[in-house]
Chain A
Amino acid sequence: MKNKVALFIGLIAVVLLLMAGCSSGDDENTIKVWTMNNSMEDFVTKYEEENDVSVEVQVIPWGEVKDKFLTAIASGEGPDVVQVGTTGVPEYADAGMFMDLSDYISEYENFNPDNFYEGAIGTTEYEGETIGVPFHVDTRVLFYRTDILADVGYPEGPKNWDEMVDASRQLAERGDDQYAIDLPRDDPQYPFMLAWQHGWNYNEDEGASNFEDPKFLEAMSKYETFYQEGLSQLEEGKELVQAFSDGSKPMFFSGPWDIKTIIDGAPEIEDQWDVRVMPEQDTNRSMIGGSHFGVFHNSEKVEQSLDFINWLADADTQLEWYKDVNELPANLEAWEDPILADDPKFSVFGEQLESTEVLPMITEYTEMSEELLNYMEEVYRGGADLESTLEDYRTKVTDILSE
């Protein structure tokens, strides 16, 4: 009996100690950082050594970011420095998650907006505030099989959407289970990119009437064409790398991470594929994604946090990061390094990043873009009429924006 009591008391003591251990690290020289990439932990050691600061990195998987951020916003208990994906900026900034950095831009050399891609800066600004400093960027380009596209007369890949449609029709005629391209059915940015390339643009003041533009209709009818004519597969088919390798889907749009995916997953087509910038109709604009680092609104260590972000924004830091995890630097100077400038594939991303468009920076964008996918599905899968569906969609957007 005595032993049991002792054991019990011992257990409680251990638990209390553990709890105490979790809440340590509140001294002057520690900053808490939330990030989505688990390479960050080792990456910051260099900074820690140089500045005698301890950086407590907590990695949040992308899938749990939302829950974690919501909890932090609701409770006011957050880190000092936080990484945020560009698409999340409006929602979290609107809820007051970030400290406004506008006044500090002149204080730190690496905060200068001219150092970064214009599109990346566009996604750090929300309603006149600067919520963070760009860290990595991301965009979409066209991946294509050079040999197969050469067979239909486009060895360099289709330059504009007319060529794209022509090449696609020829490719789809190769037989059963042969498609031209793998269009993402559940990527909400995709219809927007298509519309930008047809010369459309979203203007915040116009709300739902943005979607009355004939250019938008033209873009969406292209979108429909690709599924209607079987140029892109409607069902869940072959896994992408395999389909790219055997030629049944010789084109797709994707981001920089897929370079490695294809190199590792399909070594057999090593010299038979390439990337090129987006097809140009009116423009060849692609989306700008990526992430920024900002300061949590009630952080007590503003000075240290800003210094850390200043280090992250540095060209050399971002270049090191690229070598580590292949995420593209937002800092323009980093792109002058031969490792990026002379890489035949990654340099294409650099070129595409010069021509990007910022997705609408409004909190309703998530719902608006998801709904567009749903309405377009009614058209290409449910056989609804395009024009009247877009009319319904405008009603829906009006409703979303009025909430």
Chain B
Amino acid sequence: MTRWKYKLMPLFFIGPAVLLLMVFSFAPIFLSLGISFTDLTLIGLADWSKINFIGIENFVKLFKDKVFLESIFNTFFYVLIGVPLAVSSSLVIALLLSMVGKWLSSTFRLIFYMPSVTNIVAIAVVWGFLYNQQYGLFNYLLSLINIQSIPWLEDPLVAKFSLIILAIWKSNGVSMLIFLAALQSIPKVYYEAADIDGANRWQKFFKITLPSMSFATFFVTVTTVIGWLQFFEEPFVMTDGGPLNGTNSMALYIYQRGFEYNDFGYAAAASFVLFIIVIVATIVQFRFRKKDQTL
């Protein structure tokens, strides 16, 4: 083996992945940045001579666009409320699963993981029935304990919560698995040592379990935040952004502008705004992570 072979070997291995990223991620990103400064519509797609460069006009219009601003607000609402709930609930589920016996654990692991691999359209149909005003199961259960029916998908604010509940139920499976794996990789020795020192259950949890899982928690949080910033499927299949734009998210708005109204330039500009927000949110989290680097 000569030296240059050693140098080239790693490149050879990561090459395919980098190539795929280049073609299917980086190239479209730069392309859409370019498109966002033009007035590309359906006609421009067929005849490139009809595309005009219009500078930052799209971006100026975006920040005057009431519906876009509403969708930004909704997206942040989803993230601020949904992410903590999603991360903590999957952590709690993972902890509970690690406490019960093997048979119970594997059964429930399957049950909690199911929603993540179920087709979103099927989920929409079932949850549509659950949330239905007339014969929805949720309102029926509430009526049994004499609580008035809740307008699950009929009120802009309530509908946001309804979608958050659905999204948490749907995304818990994946995060739960990551937490479970992290839990199982904590060396038993720590707990034995703690037992000898006379630590109680809470102390063990806060001093050993949580710190040992900090990397898994970080990973789950970052991916969850990114996922929730791109909140799309749930409003798309359940409410189409309604009522009164109350559940419209940035990703859905981009879709509507781009693929329903053929306003590609404008949609590209909006997607770039979303892209910047995702990048910033991720960088911020990495900074925080650096500060409390203990592992």
Contact = CB atoms under 8 A, between A and B. Distances in A.
Given A94-B42, A95-B46, A237 B134 contact: yes
A378 B245 CA distance: 10
Nearest to B47: A96
B266 to A, nearest CB: 9
Contacts of B243: 377, 381
A26 interface: no
Interface stretch (B80-88, B89-97, B210-218, B256-264): B256-264
Contact of B153 (A95, A96, A236): A236
A177 B47 CA distance: 54
B245 A374 contact: yes
Most chain-A CB neighbours within 10 Å: which of B47, B128, B240, B262?
Answer: B262
B244 A235 contact: no
B87 to A, nearest CB: 31
Interface stretch (A66-74, A126-134, A276-284, A319-327): A66-74
Most chain-A CB neighbours within 10 Å: which of B42, B133, B242?
Answer: B42
Interface in A60-114: 66-67, 70, 73-74, 76, 91-92, 94-97
B154 A234 contact: yes
Interface in B150-173: 151, 153-154
Interface residues of A, number: 29
B42 A95 contact: yes
A84 to B, nearest CB: 14
B6 interface: no
Interface of B: 39, 42-43, 45-47, 128, 131-135, 151, 153-154, 240, 242-245, 259-263
A377 B134 contact: no
A186 interface: yes
A174 to B, nearest CB: 16
Given A236-B132, A237-B133, A238-B135, A73 B46 contact: yes
A367 interface: yes
B262 A91 contact: yes
Nearest to B242: A377
A363 B244 CA distance: 25
Contacts of A74: 45-46
B144 to A, nearest CB: 18
A377 B244 contact: yes
B42 A363 contact: yes
A396 B114 CA distance: 45
A95 B45 contact: yes
Given A237-B134, A238-B134, A381-B243, A366 B43 contact: no
18 contacts: A70-B45, A73-B46, A74-B46, A94-B43, A96-B47, A234-B154, A235-B151, A236-B132, A236-B133, A236-B153, A237-B132, A237-B134, A238-B135, A370-B261, A374-B245, A377-B242, A378-B244, A382-B244
Nearest to B132: A236
Interface of A: 66-67, 70, 73-74, 76, 91-92, 94-97, 177, 186, 234-238, 363, 366-367, 370, 374, 377-378, 381-382, 403
Contacts of A67: 259
Contacts of B132: 236-237
Contacts of B263: 367, 403
A381 B156 CA distance: 10
A317 B23 CA distance: 47
Contacts of B42: 70, 73, 91-92, 94-95, 363
Contact of A370 (B45, B128, B260): B260
Contacts of A234: 154
A185 B155 CA distance: 15
Contacts of A186: 240
Contacts of A367: 260-261, 263
Given A236-B133, A237-B133, A381-B243, A95 B261 contact: no
B262 A235 contact: no
Nearest to B243: A381
B154 A236 contact: yes
A83 B100 CA distance: 59
B65 to A, nearest CB: 10
A275 B164 CA distance: 42
A177 B135 CA distance: 11
Contacts of A70: 42, 45
Nearest to A374: B245
User: 3 smallest A-B Cβ distances: which pairs?
Assistant: A235-B133, A237-B134, A95-B42
A70 B43 CA distance: 10
Most chain-A CB neighbours within 10 Å: which of B45, B47, B240, B261?
Answer: B261
Given A91-B262, A381-B244, A235 B46 contact: no
B43 A235 contact: no
A366 B42 CA distance: 13
Contacts of B131: 236
Contacts of A366: 260-261
Given A366-B261, A381-B243, 14 more contacts: A70-B45, A91-B42, A95-B42, A95-B45, A96-B46, A235-B153, A236-B131, A236-B132, A237-B132, A377-B244, A381-B244, A382-B244, A403-B39, A403-B263
A96 B244 CA distance: 35
A91 B45 CA distance: 12
Given A235-B154, A377-B242, A95 B43 contact: yes
